[in-house]
Structure 1
Amino acid sequence: RDKSTHILCYLDLDRFNVINNTCGHDAGDRLLQEVTSIFKVECDKGTIISHLNGDEFGFIFENCHRVAGLEKAKKIQQALRNFYFKCDENEFSITASIGAVEISKDSESQRELLSSVDSACFAAKEAGRDRIQLSHVDNKILKARQSAMEWVGRIKSLFDKDLVRLRCQKIAPLHPESGLRAHYEVLLVVKDEAGNPVSLEEFISAAELYNRITDIDQWVVGSVLDWLEDNQSKISHLDGLSVNISGNSMSDKLFMDNLYDRLTSGNFDPRFITFEVTETSAIDDIDYAIFFINKLKTTGCRFSLDDFGTGLSSYAYLRKLPVDYLKIDGVFVKNIDTSEDDMAVVHSISEIGHVMGKKIIAEFVSNEAVLKKISETDIEFGQGYAIEKPITLDQLLKK
């Protein structure tokens, strides 16, 4: 309402969960008390301090322009760097990521301000933590974050309005003489209220960012298993359906227990189901991934390691993971008709995968030239538009 300006900051302690996991929640609570004391010492009387949630704090620097506000934020950040938190025999350095936004008479709504400062803090973390990010419209990370935030409120609405549907795409044997049968990967298709296709990447990114991805996985898996109970006998000529599970869901014990119960009590054959997990999500916690896969495989289901070849130390981890299929990341497949380097990578993955007893799937077989090249290898399966475009589950019943 006047010409004064203020600075709103959102501070998130970096790796707070490490202290909680190492020293326990009592130590985490003590850390929050100690950093709060630091904030009170470093901030002047014109600063409003608020503990928002967990390791998150908010600050308003009143009657403060941008440059002075950033200096105050830097002062808080430096005070944290100078502080070492002691717990038992451990000593932890403390840093924070800070997002900042200017408040003036031209500022938009409270909702927009909070969205902007949250996105700025996220950008600070994405840039490597222990940083300050001032919100501005040209930052690509901020744009992506705000786009994701807009999706959060729409996810439930899209499900309620039946705008999230399932399709499937054929994973076909490349060598008919092998006697192998085709199976289909279940895919998610999302449309907006006007019937226009929605970017699945944005939809999934938003769900992961705001911890909604497990809800989506539960819906997809539940819908597929419900459909199988009614239709498995009609597609018995196939080798089953493949369903994706996110890394978030893999690390959720309740999700695992519920899925195990459903696989052991449903009116369908679990051997008809293959779960796809990405290489990066599997190696984030290799020991738990092995436990997760082994427990569910006792029901008869199978596992496929998706996007193989892009993670770190792929071969070292592969021998430990009890998966049945390797799906070579499409980045290595889509240009094998013109790239000798990509072809060499594909041959290498196929050879080592076979030595370890895995069947190999090449995805992104998008044209006839790639299909011809991949068919000349000993890779068992291919997937992509050159083989078959995605179809609905109802269309699958008619094939």
Structure 2
Amino acid sequence: MWNRLGIKWQLILIMTLVVTLVELTTLFSVLNIQSTQSKETAVSQVEAVTKSLNNDFLKVILNPTTDAFADISNRLEAFSNVTGIILVNDRNETVYMHGMVKNIKIHKEQVVQNLSLFTQNSLFIKKELIMDGYSYGYTLVDIDLSNHKHTQEEIAWSIIAIFPFALLLGLVVSFFLGANYTKPFTQLLNAMKKSDPTHEKITLVQTNAKNEIKELFSGYNNLMQQVLDSSKELHFQAEHDQLTSIKNRYYIEEQIKAVLKDESELTYNLLYLNLDQFKLINDSAGYQAGDELLKMIASDYANILPEASIFSRVDGDAFMVLLKDSDKKDGLDILEKSLEKLHDFRFTSENESYSVSASIGLIHFKSFEYTFKELIKAVNSALYSAKVQGRNKGYVYNPDDDITERFDTELKTATFIKEALVSGPSRFELFAQDIVPLQYETDMYSYEILIRMWDKDNNFIPPDNFLPTAQRYQQMHEIDIWVLWTYLETVTQNPEHIEMLHSAHINLAGSSLTNPDFQAKVKEAVTHFNFPWHKLELEVTETSAVGNFAKANEFILWLKNIGIGLALDDFGTGMASFEYLKSMPFDVVKIDGSFVKDMHTDPTDRAVIKYIQEIAQLNNQETVAEYVETQEDVDALREIGITYGQGYFLGKPRPLKDWL
């Protein structure tokens, strides 16, 4: 309630309370002082009575004659405020009473015990009669205080009579102060109400004051100017890409949503551009060079676009162009010019020259033909179709194309993957396949962890279907995190299983090794789970290892220090040389199954397997042969010296829960 009142009314209320408090304090203080003085006066009067009549009281006690009583009564008549008096001798006998003694008798016991007693209108007091050190008795005196009370009431009413005038004066002062001292705040309030920095509108305030008001106004003006400048900056940042200064995703998406709801009959074109192999330039020339390339493309490419078009960067190496009020031919013309412009683009960094190209998807549409999500999905499909055809290709969206259907399928699969990563309704499950020692027998077991997926309708989706999709949609590091964490969470609850485990192999995408989220999760797992880390082998395929191991060197060294092993998967199918095999810190080399499958009919394949085994042995690396399908395969591999075998003949994949 108080916070809702204006400063002026708060000031008036405060002044009213102050005046009232001062008035009440004055009233009670004066009354208290008057009461104290009245009591002191009454006590003094008793002292005067007893002192002046002390000898007379003693005469009455010692010689209680009629003349003595008459004499003392005459003298007491001179003390008008003495209501009554009782004289008691040393034998506690009442020898004399004067005036109204009824109240004295009522309070006698208290007065005798406490020596004095104040009531509303009287003072009762006991005074000893002493002569030459001997007590002859005492007097009980009742002093009338009504005159004092009347004086107190007069004073109180005088103070109360002053109160309205004091209150009126306080209100006048309050209004004066309120009018003068709240005026600056009113000015500020009105200025703030009129200002709207988000729409570049501010109202400044002026004053002739030389005191704190001037500082307050100056501070407000400076603040509003800063807010205005910041609003302009934020408005620019909200609509522009920080790196290239062209429009950003938010801006073009809002524009697309607007034209989709436009009541006019205009048609539009939307182009979705993605630079080809931009990651390769980033990896070889560095991120700074990649950023420079993006800025150059944004600046140069904008020159071929119509003035009314909206050009924006929507992702790392992806751009969108919205052509307003344009027919299908306009869209095709821009598509052709875009491909030509980007194909001819050359980029030089540190004396290295790079050619640039882009894949472009195009969709022609009109208002209300699509929802926003449908339109974005369609242009994504067109871009996907362009990429399928190779580099520097364009594609116009056609909902009936096979490629479009394939894109829709991949999009659904990517959705299933997202669901499985958060436990439903689609789901992942871990399987394990035996890795069997060929050179010795043991009761301990080794296996490779495999992942399987079912969609929300419990339809099985083969890994060959969903893993390439995950790669394209940059979901592999999330899958790798899920596999590693779920495996550790499962087996660490079964200590007996871990005790009999020789090694567990888990496949990784090469890109996961350089992914900060994956690296952080592995480090978290090491502190979270009680697992013998020397029993864990992380597998990376030959092709992905070549591009990622150098960049993940620090993380790989950390893995090795923890004791986690590294395996090179599918060796022999990529472009890695035996020199590369020797130079990298692999503990295990897995030989691609294509060599095993044909080694009985192709001497070259058998020779490759043997050569890999010899090189690995020299490097103190173990070997695993994949796709072992027959006893004949086992015998041949054992003879060559291969350490382990893996394949359906040695053991089919089984759910991990069946191993526990």
Q: Which TM-score bucket, shorter chain as reference?
A: 0.7 to 0.9
Check if 1:175 corresponds to 2:419: no
1:98: which partner in 2? 360
1:188: which partner in 2? 451
Query: Which of 566, 570, 592 is the equivalent residue of 1:329?
Result: 592
Q: 2:444, 2:368 → 1: CA distance? A: 63
Report how many aligned residue pairs link the two structures.
392
| Aligned CA distance change for structure 1 residues 319 and 144 (closer, same or farther; 3 Å) | farther
2:391: which partner in 1? 129
1:307: which partner in 2? 570
Deviations 1:185-230 (A, max 9, x none): 1111111223221121222222222222211111111111122322
**Is the Cα–Cα contact under 8 Å of residues 507 and 538 in structure 2 kept in the other structure?**
yes
2:556: which partner in 1? 293
Please say which of residues 154-163 and 309-318 is displaced more in the overlay: 154-163
| Aligned CA distance change for structure 1 residues 9 and 348 (closer, same or farther; 3 Å) | same
Check if 1:164 corresponds to 2:428: yes
Q: CA deviation at 1:235?
A: 4.1
1:284: which partner in 2? 547
Q: 1:331, 1:212 → 2: CA distance? A: 28
Q: Tell me the C-alpha RMSD between the 2 structures.
A: 3.4
**Is the Cα–Cα contact under 8 Å of residues 385 and 403 in structure 2 kept in the other structure?**
yes
1:38: which partner in 2? 303
The one-letter code of the counterpart of 1:388 is G
| Aligned CA distance change for structure 1 residues 125 and 167 (closer, same or farther; 3 Å) | same
The one-letter code of the counterpart of 1:317 is Y
Check if 1:77 corresponds to 2:342: no
The one-letter code of the counterpart of 1:79 is K
Rg larger in structure: 2
Q: CA deviation at 1:36?
A: 5.2
Q: CA deviation at 1:322?
A: 0.8
1:21: which partner in 2? 286
Check if 1:362 corresponds to 2:622: no
Q: 2:657, 2:533 → 1: CA distance? A: 21
The one-letter code of the counterpart of 2:574 is G
The one-letter code of the counterpart of 2:604 is D
Deviations 1:103-150 (A, max 9, x none): 479977654543343233234345442222334578776554442222
| Aligned CA distance change for structure 1 residues 133 and 345 (closer, same or farther; 3 Å) | farther
Q: 2:637, 2:436 → 1: CA distance? A: 12
2:533: which partner in 1? 270
Q: CA deviation at 1:169?
A: 0.8
| Aligned CA distance change for structure 1 residues 259 and 368 (closer, same or farther; 3 Å) | same
Q: 2:604, 2:406 → 1: CA distance? A: 33
- TM, length-normalised to structure 2: 0.53
**Is the Cα–Cα contact under 8 Å of residues 492 and 498 in structure 2 kept in the other structure?**
no
Deviations 1:41-74 (A, max 9, x none): xx375x55454344433235555346x6433311
Check if 1:214 corresponds to 2:485: no
Please say which of residues 134-143 and 295-304 is displaced more in the overlay: 134-143
Deviations 1:326-350 (A, max 9, x none): 1111222233344333323222222
| Aligned CA distance change for structure 1 residues 271 and 90 (closer, same or farther; 3 Å) | closer
Q: 1:107, 1:354 → 2: CA distance? A: 65
**Is the Cα–Cα contact under 8 Å of residues 175 and 375 in structure 1 kept in the other structure?**
yes
Deviations 1:231-279 (A, max 9, x none): 2333423302111221121111342243134225531211121111111
The one-letter code of the counterpart of 2:451 is L
Q: SS state of the match for residue 327, structure 2?
A: coil
Q: 2:350, 2:497 → 1: CA distance? A: 62
**Is the Cα–Cα contact under 8 Å of residues 541 and 571 in structure 2 kept in the other structure?**
yes
1:238: which partner in 2? 501
| Aligned CA distance change for structure 1 residues 186 and 93 (closer, same or farther; 3 Å) | closer
**Is the Cα–Cα contact under 8 Å of residues 435 and 646 in structure 2 kept in the other structure?**
yes
| Aligned CA distance change for structure 1 residues 262 and 128 (closer, same or farther; 3 Å) | same
Which structure shows the higher helix fraction?
2
Q: 1:33, 1:3 → 2: CA distance? A: 31
> Where in structure 2 are the equivalents of 1:107-122 lying within 5 Å?
111-122=373-384
**Is the Cα–Cα contact under 8 Å of residues 283 and 289 in structure 1 kept in the other structure?**
no
The one-letter code of the counterpart of 2:432 is C
Query: Which of 445, 452, 460 is the equivalent residue of 1:197?
Result: 460
| Aligned CA distance change for structure 1 residues 310 and 139 (closer, same or farther; 3 Å) | farther
Q: 2:270, 2:357 → 1: CA distance? A: 19
Q: 1:336, 1:257 → 2: CA distance? A: 42
Q: 1:195, 1:267 → 2: CA distance? A: 34
1:11: which partner in 2? 273
Check if 1:378 corresponds to 2:641: yes
Q: CA deviation at 1:82?
A: 4.9
Structure 2 residue ranges without an equivalent (≥5):
1-262
Identical positions, percent: 30
Q: SS state of the match for residue 384, structure 1?
A: coil
Q: 2:348, 2:638 → 1: CA distance? A: 60
| Aligned CA distance change for structure 1 residues 79 and 279 (closer, same or farther; 3 Å) | closer
**Is the Cα–Cα contact under 8 Å of residues 510 and 548 in structure 2 kept in the other structure?**
no
Please say which of residues 192-201 and 380-389 is displaced more in the overlay: 192-201
Q: CA deviation at 1:290?
A: 4.1
Q: CA deviation at 1:374?
A: 2.8
Q: 2:348, 2:413 → 1: CA distance? A: 40
**Is the Cα–Cα contact under 8 Å of residues 80 and 94 in structure 1 kept in the other structure?**
yes
2:510: which partner in 1? 247
Q: SS state of the match for residue 155, structure 1?
A: helix
Query: Which of 521, 536, 546 is the equivalent residue of 1:258?
Result: 521
The one-letter code of the counterpart of 2:420 is L
| Aligned CA distance change for structure 1 residues 88 and 319 (closer, same or farther; 3 Å) | closer
The one-letter code of the counterpart of 1:77 is L
Please say which of residues 297-306 and 191-200 is displaced more in the overlay: 191-200
1:148: which partner in 2? 410
**Is the Cα–Cα contact under 8 Å of residues 260 and 296 in structure 1 kept in the other structure?**
no
**Is the Cα–Cα contact under 8 Å of residues 306 and 326 in structure 1 kept in the other structure?**
yes
Q: 2:592, 2:404 → 1: CA distance? A: 28
Indicate the structure whose relative CO is greater, using CA pairs within 8 Å and at least 6 residues apart. Answer: 1
Q: 1:235, 1:288 → 2: CA distance? A: 32
**Is the Cα–Cα contact under 8 Å of residues 290 and 320 in structure 1 kept in the other structure?**
no
| Aligned CA distance change for structure 1 residues 108 and 367 (closer, same or farther; 3 Å) | farther
